[in-house]
Structure 1
Amino acid sequence: MSLAPFVQIVGRGPGRSRSLTMGEAASAMDLMLTPEAAPEAFGALLMLLRMKGETAEEIAGFAQAAQAALPSMPGADLDWPSYAAGRTRGAPWFLLSARIVADAGHRVLLHGWNGTDQKVRDALSQAGIRTARTPDEASAILDSDSIAYLPLENFHPALFSLLRLRDVLGLRSCINTVCRMLNPAAAASSVQGVFHPSYRLLQADAASLLGWQNLTVIKGGGGEFERHPAKDIAAFGLRNGALWEGTFNASVGVTRRLAEHGAAYDLNDPTDFDESVIVGTAAAALETLGWRNATKTAHRLWRARTPRKAA
């Protein structure tokens, strides 16, 4: 089977085209993940979807098929994708937030790819987070450290190739969103950051179609799951499988951008404002996991932290 029928569904023109159903999207993704698929066809499909605007059913179908192609691995408690391009991101303080969640007793799997920007991967060792070369190694690291980072190219090379089409097409596609909707370790809870606010509800609706339980999506620093402590942050997602909306209230009165750091930064030397970013982000993740005193717990764990050697 070719991708032509799916291209025709979306691209027939005004009055004749329509969105893909969830099942059709899953079938299309199955084809796109095979080496036999014509790159011209899935390039055409992805750009038609971009022009039309992706639906929750399309994102859910793509994500379902991409997830099904993954090897199985022991579970995690929290899935934490990191796929922002990094152009507007400062220091990746959210890595220390993820470390706090692991210190609270949860297994946290970070996964991602950030284009040519190396801020996240360069800072992993500063946060005490080891990088896994394979899903099996990620499982072993989770067993020993409760937190691991798994690069997309190491656990889903076929989807990574689709993501890299941005270099050819010159535009992002819905694959960026699909990557955020992956859940390699089948965690019951997930946190996601977006750069464009409209994607918050799209990803929440897609997660509902996929039968997820707990999810928090925010417009975060540089597109990552990272809270600005001086702003009220609108959040969308799921709680116990039901659609949910909430607000994380500002915790400080300082007005500044998250990306005011220069090229050099040290995760071991945060300012008071940076600490508010770290604690607030950790609290949002803990709340997603069901903690009632999430902010208090995040503050306690941050104060009790010990210096960590480079991983």
Structure 2
Amino acid sequence: MSESKEHPFAPFVRILGKGQKGSRGLTGDEAYQAMGMLLDGQVEDTQLGAFLMLLRFKEETPEELAGFTRAVRERVRAPAITVDIDWPAYAGKRRQLPWFMLAAKALANNGIRILLHGGGRHTAGRMYAEDVLDALAIASCTSWHDVAEQIESQNIAFIPLSVWMPRLQRMIDLRSTLGLRSPVHSLARLLNPLSATCGLQSVFHPGYQQVHQQANVILGDHALVIKGDGGEIEVRPDVTDQLLGAADGHAWSEEWPAQIGRQVKAPTLELERLLAVWQGDEQDLYGEQAILATMALALRGLARDREEAFSQAAQMWENRHLN
């Protein structure tokens, strides 16, 4: 009797799933190979689901995230586009309005070149970056060519993950089938597809910030990692946060103190209120402080020290309609 030949992807599932004593994490090279097969469509759906959930249960290591990132970056087919800030927006907001979008728009209006990318509206009850693009005149691009044009003319562009890495988008969309977020939600923050000067990364779950920081160290990337409100790159101005940085293969950190007293959850998420603050028709203590702190975070990533970053952020916010 002939034995059936083992699928080439099976060893990666086995490494993760041999039980408490037999399983282990993937090495960086194994993660790179496994993600390459996933992105090239060389696995069965059963293997994909098993692999993602075993990783989810185990929790990703810096080596795994770095290996996955290398595989994705090798498959990005984008022209050379100069970008200052890579700004992933995948979580959506449910506690507060997406003030980070006003921060990004204000920075762009002051000459900072920003790439936004996101993974769709995957969780009910949240407001996503995609929900405010039209209101802020930020283009949702359907190609890297469109991105290049928008960044050249507007200093900011949004591109859905489904456009440039559809197999990763499919993994994110499996949440409704598997019942849990997959490690791709974490991976998406690291991708920096256009090799921006600085990548901003927000990871909500405790402990994952250090994992991302170490993954950036392994990759040799320049990045800033925060907890962020709801998992988006939005500094909470009412709590003291730890800013974790990576640059030139080294890790560093600094404390970002709270700017205001503790605030409660917003009663509703109304786009009209977000736009009223942008136009200057309404004031919102929490929102405006979140905007300024988030702008300062991005400027800190562009080599400003913290005091200079906050001062420049305030000036840029005042001048947001002048450019």
**Distance in 1, Cα, partners of 2:322 & 2:112:** 20
**AA of the residue aligned to 2:84:** D
- Correspondence 1:199 to 2:211: no
Question: Could you tell me how far 1:261 is from its partner in structure 2?
Answer: 4.6
Once the two structures are TM-superposed, the CA of residue 269 in structure 1 deviates from its matched residue by 1.7
- 1:134 matches 2:119: no
Question: Is the contact made by 2:132 and 2:271 (CA closer than 8 Å) also made in structure 1?
Answer: no
TM-superposition CA deviations, 1:143-198 (whole Å, max 9, x none)? 11111111111111111111212121111111111111111111120111122121
Show the counterpart of 1:83. 90
How far does residue 84 in structure 1 lie from its aligned partner after superposition? 0.6
Corresponding residue for residue 263 of structure 1: 269
Q: State the match for 1:175 in structure 2.
A: 184
List aligned pairs for 1:1-311, cutoff 5 A. Answer: 2-73=8-79, 74-86=81-93, 88-113=94-119, 114-116=121-123, 117-213=126-222, 215-253=223-261, 255-257=262-264, 259-266=265-272, 267-270=274-277, 271-273=283-285, 274-292=287-305, 293-306=308-321
| Alpha-carbon distance in 2 for matches of 1:300, 1:101 | 10
Superposition deviation, residue 284 in structure 1: 1.0
TM-score, normalization: structure 1?
0.92
- Asked if the contact 1:91/1:261 (under 8 Å) is kept, the reply is no
Cα deviation, 1:53-94, whole Å, max 9, x if unaligned, reads: 2111111111111121111232311100011154x3421110
CA displacement at 1:136 relative to structure 2:
1.4
Displacement of 1:34: 2.2
Aligned length: 304
Q: Residues 261 and 80 (structure 1 numbering): CA distance in 2 closer, same or farther, change over 3 Å? A: farther
Matched residues in 1 for 2:248 and 2:295: separation?
A: 20
Measured in 1, the distance between the counterparts of 2:314 and 2:247 equals: 23
Contact 2:203–2:231 at 8 Å: present in 1 too? yes
Q: Residues 136, 89 of structure 1: CA spacing in aligned structure 2 closer, same or farther, 3 A cutoff?
A: farther
Give percent identity, aligned residues only. Answer: 36
1:76-131 alpha-carbon deviations (Å, 9 max, x no partner):
11100011154x34211101111222234221101012414453212123333221
User: Structure 1 residue 278: deviation in Å?
Assistant: 0.6
Q: In angstroms, what is the RMSD of aligned CA positions?
A: 1.8
Q: Write the distance in 1 (CA, Å) between the matches of 2:221 and 2:293.
A: 24
Amino acid of the structure 1 residue aligned with 2:291: I
Contact 2:235 2:294 in 1 (8 A): yes
State how far apart, in whole Å, the 2-side matches of 1:127 and 1:226 are: 17
Q: What's the CA shift for 1:244? A: 1.2
**Partners of 1:94 and 1:278 within 8 A in 2:** yes
Whether the aligned pair in 1 keeps the contact of 2:226 and 2:244 (CA below 8 Å) is: yes
The one-letter code matched in structure 2 to 1:276 is Q
- 8 Å contact from structure 2 (residues 233, 294) kept in 1: yes
Q: Is the 8 A contact 2:91 2:128 kept in 1?
A: no
Distance in 2, Cα, partners of 1:126 & 1:181: 27
SS in 1 for 2:20: coil
| Gap change, CA 1:104 and 1:247, over 3 Å in 2 | farther
Equivalents in 1 of 2:29, 2:57: separation in Å? 21
Q: Look up the equivalent residue of 1:38 and give its one-letter code.
A: E
- Corresponding letter in the other structure for 1:281: T
SS at match of 1:18: coil
Q: CA deviation at 1:14?
A: 2.6
TM-score under structure 2 normalisation?
0.89
Runs of 5+ in structure 1 lacking a partner? none
- Separation of aligned partners in 1, 2:111 and 2:72: 29
- Once the 2 structures are TM-superposed, how far is the Cα of residue 307 of structure 1 from its aligned partner? 8.1
Matching residue's letter, 1:40: T
